[in-house]
Amino acid sequence: MPRLEFNRQEAKTPMPELDPVERATCFSEVALGYSADDAVNEAKRCIQCKNKPCVKGCPVGVPIPEFIALVAEGDFAEAYAYVKDANALPAICGRVCPQETQCEGVCTRGRRGEPVGIGRLERFVADWAFEHPEEAAAALAEKLAVDDEVKSELSLDDSPADNSELLEEGSVPVIPSDVDLTGHRVAMVGSGPAALTCAGELAKHGCDVVVFEALHKVGGVLTYGIPEFRLPKDLVAREISSLEEAGVTFEPNSVIGKLYDIEELMNEEGFEAVFVGTGAGLPTYLNIEGEGLNGVSVANELLTRVNLMKAYDHPNFDTPVFAGERCIVVGGGNVAMDAARTAKRLGADVTVVYRRGLEEMPARAEEIHHAQEEGITFELLTNPVRLIGNDEGWIEGAEVVSMELGEPDASGRRRPVEIAGSEHVIPCDMFIIAVGSKTNPLIAKTTPGLEVTSRNLIIADEQTGATSIPGVFAGGDAVIGAATVILAMGAGKRAAYGISEYLLRCSGEQH
């Protein structure tokens, strides 16, 4: 490849966004994406450095410099093929991945000035592919065919030892392209990013995959959790229909552990392996006085009503939603930002209350920035201690205390300490709790022999997803606790490798 004349621009090429005043009243997507010119300009900022730290920073191992070089040349179809081959859900990852702590966090360009906008470029190629489906599909098919040729040439002197080398490097193991899983049947429990990725990887090799989802719509957190203005739902639907085209079957309205348990799936329904990707959907509470008042809810309720049930379009959709006139959201993560920005769009005056400072907030900087732009108030170093109700049992205020930061705690963040005598009341008619979520114990309870931690996290092998039961694999939030979409996808991809190895081992073949 001829050396690129790189673009020395220090900052990322800006991405157009909806005006904050306009967008705070609607659910349209905030970030509008690059034009082709923007994308080429940004791609040229990549210096194609030799050690590619970005690829090691990516949980699914996207060949970042390669696809960016193709974007710089204007070959968007092939760029898409490179991304899609490694990442089943590029349009989603381009939008919701915390790139700043992954690929972009280690980008060589980031040492001076801003890193290359890898997420924005990934989003661009995925969106381009949606608009040019035939060219994109042709490029992907060609890429897969070329891969096959290369692999079959290599396979003569390529021993399985190479795979273990890959594992040691911490890269994501990929099912070799000549592996044929036709005739094998595998079930996914849950349809979030972990299960979708796992399903997609297995389906690529002809495996018969059925995805069981408890809700009426598939997508897991992508559907019920992340709001429309950050991740449009028709985009999620498109990614899912592309999996359907690849042969994956979806069974919504199927609560595994109730309708079937895992043993029945394996012994009666003919699944040779099961992947559990049930996520972390259960709410946690503050356990303070007044949490039962009307007008107090967890972020899950608000987000489920709005995202899954489309309550923002009530009464056109039947499910209503109440966000109040003065709404407090407690918490500092992405879910808290999503809840705050959702309540704002429903017409509430929103205050985020967080017990540490802005620096310590676990939410992505971009989300905090967007929330601030939209007019959301932040009461930092503030912690609710009691919720106050009126005579009818509706909340009318939250008593909070001011905090100061003390010594670092186990997580390395400075521990917030109450300032004595600093109690004061913030009036509100809605109070939303967004302080983390935990895993659903249903699978653990209904699957004898499945080893879990005291927090109901499923114990699974980091590299293969294998659990204590042969043939049962797990990954994503159900294993590591509430984390990110991309980590779940990485786990799904590794489990697909683990499952294919298991299936072949059981049928006496080898990778």
Partner 1 sequence: MYPIVSVEALNSEVTRMEIFAPQVAKKIRPGQFIMLRIDEKGERIPLTMNDCDPVAGTVTIIFQQVGATTIRLASMLPGQAIQDFVGPLGNPTELDGVKRACVIGGGLGTAIAYPQAKWLHDHGAEVDVITGFRTKDLVILEKEIAEVAAWHKVMTDDGSNGNKGVVTAPLQERIDAGAGYELVSAVGPIIMMKFVALTTKAAGIKTLVSMNPLMVDGTGMCGGCRVKVGDQYLHACVDGPDFDGHLVDYDDAMRRGVAYRKFENAARERCLWAAKAEKIEEQQEAHDRLAETELEGKVGE
Taking the complex as a whole, the smallest distance from the CB of residue 295 to partner 1 amounts, in Å, to: 7
Considering CB under 8 A, how many residues would be counted as binding partner 1? 40
Nearer to partner 1, 159 or 316 (CB): 316
Taking the complex as a whole, the smallest distance from the CB of residue 188 to partner 1 amounts, in Å, to: 17
Taking the complex as a whole, the smallest distance from the CB of residue 301 to partner 1 amounts, in Å, to: 4
Taking the complex as a whole, the smallest distance from the CB of residue 218 to partner 1 amounts, in Å, to: 12
Exposure string of 314-350, with b = 16+ CB inside 10 Å and e = fewer, is eeeeeeebbbbebbbbbbbbbbbbbbbbbbbbbebbb
Q: Which residues pair with 190 in a beta bridge?
A: none
- Residues 158-217 touching partner 1, rule: CB under 8 A, are 214-216
Interface residue with partner 1, options 73, 114, 147, 301 (CB under 8 A): 301
- Residues 324-383 touching partner 1, rule: CB under 8 A, are none
Per-residue binding letters, 439-468, with partner 1 (x by CB under 8 A): -x-x--------------------------
Nearer to partner 1, 406 or 448 (CB): 448
Q: Retrieve residue 383's tokens.
A: 């912690």
Nearer to partner 1, 321 or 403 (CB): 321
Site membership for partner 1, residue 241 (CB under 8 A) = no
Interface residue with partner 1, options 164, 253, 267, 507 (CB under 8 A): 253
Interface residue with partner 1, options 105, 283, 362, 481 (CB under 8 A): 283
Taking the complex as a whole, the smallest distance from the CB of residue 343 to partner 1 amounts, in Å, to: 16
Interface residue with partner 1, options 316, 411, 454, 510 (CB under 8 A): 316
Interface residue with partner 1, options 63, 90, 219, 295 (CB under 8 A): 295
Using alpha carbons, select from 55, 60, 222, 56 the residue that is nearest to residue 68. 55
231 and 31 Cβ atoms separated by less than 8 Å: no
Q: Retrieve residue 193's tokens.
A: 């990013």
Nearer to partner 1, 90 or 190 (CB): 190
Interface residue with partner 1, options 87, 191, 297, 383 (CB under 8 A): 297
Taking the complex as a whole, the smallest distance from the CB of residue 460 to partner 1 amounts, in Å, to: 21
**Distances from the Cα of 413 to the Cα of 116, 357, 358, 405, angstroms:** 28, 10, 12, 9
Site membership for partner 1, residue 258 (CB under 8 A) = yes
Residues 6+ apart with CB under 8 A from 347: 25, 323, 325
Nearer to partner 1, 277 or 295 (CB): 295
Site membership for partner 1, residue 393 (CB under 8 A) = yes
Nearer to partner 1, 90 or 279 (CB): 279
431 and 336 Cβ atoms separated by less than 8 Å: no
What whole-number distance in Å separates Cα of residue 201 and Cα of residue 198?
A: 5
Q: In what order do the strands lie in the sheet with 326-330?
A: 296-298, 430-433, 326-330, 349-353, 377-379
Per-residue binding letters, 219-238, with partner 1 (x by CB under 8 A): -----x--------------
Q: Applying CB under 8 A, which part among 48-56, 282-290, 411-419, 485-493 lies near partner 1?
A: 282-290
Site membership for partner 1, residue 314 (CB under 8 A) = yes
* Element counts in the chain: helices (H) and strands (E): 19, 16
DSSP letter (8 states) at residue 466: B
Interface residue with partner 1, options 282, 288, 388, 483 (CB under 8 A): 282
Alpha carbons within 13 angstroms on the beta-carbon side of residue 173 total: 24
Angle of the 118-131 helix axis to the 133-155 helix axis, nearest 10: 110
Nearer to partner 1, 130 or 322 (CB): 322
Residue 173 falls in which region: left (phi positive, over 0), alpha (psi -120 to 50) or beta:
beta
348 and 324 Cβ atoms separated by less than 8 Å: yes
Q: Retrieve residue 91's tokens.
A: 């349009």
Q: Applying CB under 8 A, which part among 155-163, 250-258, 324-332, 342-350 lies near partner 1?
A: 250-258
Nearer to partner 1, 247 or 283 (CB): 283
**Distances from the Cα of 86 to the Cα of 5, 14, 60, 373, angstroms:** 27, 26, 7, 35
Using alpha carbons, select from 404, 390, 391, 350 the residue that is nearest to residue 372. 350
User: 311-318 — which CB contacts under 8 Å span 24+ positions?
Assistant: 312/27, 312/228, 312/342, 312/345, 312/346
Q: Can you give the binding site for partner 1, defined by CB under 8 A?
A: 214-216, 224, 252-255, 258-260, 281-283, 285, 291-292, 294-295, 297-298, 300-301, 304-305, 308-310, 314-320, 322, 392-393, 440, 442
